[in-house]
Amino acid sequence: MSLSWRAVAAAAVAGGLALGPLAPVAGAAEAAEAARGARGAAAVGLALQSPDDGGLSTQTRAVYVVDPEAGVTRVSVDLTLTNQVEDVNEGGVIRQTYFSQISVPVLREATNFGVIETGDGHSLVVQEEPVPDNPWVEFATIELDPRVFHGDGPRSFRLTYDLPNQAARAETLSRANDAFVSLPVFTDGDPGQTSVEVRIPDRYDVQVVGGDLAREESDGQIVLSADAIADPEAFIPVVVAGDDAHLVERTVDLDGVAVSARAWPNDADWADFVIGTLGDAFPVLTDLIGQPWPADDELDVIETSAPYAYGYAGWYEEVGNAISIGDQLDPLVIVHEVSHAWFNSDLFGDRWVNEGFAEEYAAQTLDRLGQAYQPLAPPDPSSAAAITLNDWGNPSILDEQSAANEQYGYAASWYVIDQIAAEIGMDQLREVIDASAHDEIAYLGDPGPEDGAEVTDWRRLLDLLEEWGGSRQAASLFQRYVVTQDQQAQLTARTTARQAYAALAGRSNDWSPPLALRRLMADWDFGRVDATIAEADAVLARRTEIERVLRGTAVDRIGLEDTYESAPDLADVVTAADATLEAAEAYRDAAERYDHSPGILGSIGLWWSGTDDRLADARTGLEEGNPGASQQASATVQQRLDDATRNGALRLAGGVAAVGATGALGALRLRRRRQVAPIRITVRSRRHWPLHMPPRPEPPSLSPLEPPPSPPSSVPPLRPVGSPVEGLTPPARAPQRAPTSRID
């Protein structure tokens, strides 16, 4: 609703001027002079804009009696007029000033006028006159007969007229029916001499917008009033009254969402239109947004022109999931408001973001439906109404300036989101919404998205648009339309930090930046970025050394990568990188020594010792980011290699002693099976221990300093000469295989 009508609603009181009836016995010269004086005075009279300037004191009291059941609001305006311009005697010529008309501003739907002079009850003529450039108000111009002269003293008049109930979508400002009343109340008169009263049945729930009215109740009526109004021209409160019990409700199910549309009793078309529009729009909107219906409650859509009184087409209330929209059948408004079920403070923290998304998604939905609508015009950032969107809060007062700011705010919000949607497309925008809805971090690493901030404010939105949505225009759009002067410095710092971040990512090869840095970026904590990048570079330098050490070994990736990428703090990772380098060197040395077999006795000594598995453990420790366990396993390998020759000799001696014991073979083999099987299972299971488990203790049975699980007599029996020597098959060197597949 435009607010411009308010400025011109004030009455202009017409003045009249004429020569006095007493003409001196004088020549034409005086008469001509008098005539010039008349023209000059008349010009002054036409310029009068308020009664105090014109010398007509005007006391006014307007009473509105709202009675929708009778189909009418009855209005009476009591006027007390006093001509304060004294008669002037100019050399025997008496100049008198009188007033012949007074024009009272009324709503243009006013009808059934009558005027009397209350002193004697005689009727006067009243005529309706248009107010230039104002479609909502007209003048009721009263012909003052007889005219009002100075000598009359105060004279009282009563203007009465009716405001018939106005139907939905009538081209008038007021509305009245059993469920709803909206009525601007105003009058004009001298400051401090003007009062207004409104009476309305107390079954209505009454609000007053745009001006204060005292409230009391009497005889089943709510009585609202203001006396001695200081600035009558600007005092135009709107009485908004609802009686929801008289709304006519229809409910439908839209894709499992219960929708209740509650319309005025005289407006079934509205319910048809709302339900039809929502039915068409709902699946398209849900698909575009990509998030399920977010509310638990049913959707309540209420017909009310209360938003119009505040200057809006409609509004959405998160509590109760209710949409209030006026009687105009505007699909863009309906879809815009329902999209606020998603686009509200649960999803985005800033008003402009939610408004921009709501408007964009409403427009996109209607585009896909092929439904005509009136799109917003792009904003003009050079206009006087332009504000940065981060300054666009809820309006506190309803004046011309805030109305213009509101209009600009809606247009600019939509424009920013619309430009980005055109750039990256609705699929990418859906990703942005998804990341915001699931509180996922804006700066992604190799691990799955970590948790980000729970509230997506304009800063996080910018990050998501660029990092998740791939936008290249968002920052410049934000710079131009969104950020305040103070926030420009944050954008500049961000740009610098992002360049450093991108450079680090570039020299990290296939490693993603660490969480510690990604979180600083996501939190806009740019002051610590350089120091964190320095720590990251220290880790990357260690990585280069580690990769050099491990070149040619069986290790094809190092778990330090995961540690680094997911670390919330890099100080520990620098330590871990040092430890990984040491573990890598230990592994390389152990593997090289193991590969260069320690001779026959050494090989026999290594049988069933699990040394190859320990080497595999050392490798796994590196691969899984557990350098401590890796280093311990490498040390074990070294120690077993140290002891291998001695153990080989012991085993060989024990094996020869057992040759004659063929009768006991079966029993021995059974016992061995019972012993060996659990060892193998244990070894395998170790490989699958998750990252960051404490290093398991070495099983005492495998320590080379103690007897192996099988005493020397349990070395696989030697078959009689000529038989296949199945027990002597050496253990496979492949570390992933069991000690031997032949034993069991």
For Zn ion, the binding residues (CB under 5 A) are 355, 358
Q: 230 vs 192, 235, 305, CA distance in Å?
A: 5, 8, 28
Specify the long-range contacts of residues 436-442, CB closer than 8 Å, at least 24 apart: 436/347, 436/348, 436/460, 436/461, 436/464, 437/291, 437/347, 441/518, 441/519, 441/522, 442/467, 442/468, 442/521, 442/522
Between 13 and 341, CB nearer to Zn ion: 341
Minimum CB separation from Zn ion for residue 473, in Å?
23
**Residue written as token pair 């040092």:** 578
* 646-664: b (≥16 Cβ within 10 Å) or e: ebbbbbeeebeebeeeeee
**Residue written as token pair 């592994």:** 587
Q: Tell whether the torsion through CA atoms of 726, 727, 733 and 735 is positive or negative.
A: positive
Minimum CB separation from Zn ion for residue 317, in Å?
11
Q: Alpha-carbon distance 65 to 199, whole Å?
A: 5
Between 355 and 624, CB nearer to Zn ion: 355
Write out the two tokens for 15: 């003045």
Minimum CB separation from Zn ion for residue 323, in Å?
10
Minimum CB separation from Zn ion for residue 358, in Å?
5
Helices (H) and strands (E) in the chain, counts: 19, 21
Q: Is residue 192 within 8 Å of residue 50, measured between CB atoms?
A: no
Minimum CB separation from Zn ion for residue 280, in Å?
20
Of 376, 444, 385, the C-alpha closest to 416 is 376
Write out the two tokens for 527: 């002051």
Q: What is residue 16's three-state secondary structure? A: strand
Minimum CB separation from Zn ion for residue 409, in Å?
10
Q: Is residue 131 within 8 Å of residue 121, measured between CB atoms?
A: no
Minimum CB separation from Zn ion for residue 340, in Å?
6
Minimum CB separation from Zn ion for residue 394, in Å?
12
Q: Is residue 87 within 8 Å of residue 96, measured between CB atoms?
A: yes
Between 355 and 565, CB nearer to Zn ion: 355
Q: Is residue 85 within 8 Å of residue 97, measured between CB atoms?
A: yes
Between 350 and 355, CB nearer to Zn ion: 355
Between 358 and 715, CB nearer to Zn ion: 358
**Residue written as token pair 């499992």:** 256
Between 85 and 347, CB nearer to Zn ion: 347
* 528-544: b (≥16 Cβ within 10 Å) or e: ebeebbebbebbbebbe
User: What's the angle, vertex CA 112, arms to CA 108 and CA 114, rounded to 5?
Assistant: 110
Between 303 and 359, CB nearer to Zn ion: 359
Q: What share of the chain is helix, strand, coil (3-state, %, to 5)?
A: 45, 20, 35
Minimum CB separation from Zn ion for residue 342, in Å?
12
Between 113 and 308, CB nearer to Zn ion: 308
Minimum CB separation from Zn ion for residue 318, in Å?
12
Minimum CB separation from Zn ion for residue 307, in Å?
10
Between 323 and 570, CB nearer to Zn ion: 323
Between 336 and 619, CB nearer to Zn ion: 336
Minimum CB separation from Zn ion for residue 252, in Å?
23
Position 673: which residue type? R
Between 64 and 343, CB nearer to Zn ion: 343
Q: Within 596-720, where are the H helices?
A: 599-606, 611-623, 627-657, 665-687
Between 355 and 431, CB nearer to Zn ion: 355
Between 376 and 475, CB nearer to Zn ion: 376
User: What's the angle, vertex CA 405, arms to CA 403 and CA 407, rounded to 5?
Assistant: 70
Minimum CB separation from Zn ion for residue 319, in Å?
16
Q: Is residue 270 within 8 Å of residue 264, measured between CB atoms?
A: yes
Minimum CB separation from Zn ion for residue 339, in Å?
8
CA atoms within 13 A on the CB side of 22: 10
Of 518, 601, 597, 516, the C-alpha closest to 563 is 516
Minimum CB separation from Zn ion for residue 348, in Å?
12
Between 278 and 567, CB nearer to Zn ion: 278
Q: Is residue 410 within 8 Å of residue 376, measured between CB atoms?
A: yes
Q: Alpha-carbon distance 472 to 467, whole Å?
A: 10
Between 306 and 517, CB nearer to Zn ion: 306
Minimum CB separation from Zn ion for residue 343, in Å?
8
Of 200, 165, 263, the C-alpha closest to 66 is 200
**Phi and psi for 59 in degrees, rounded to 5?**
-105, 130
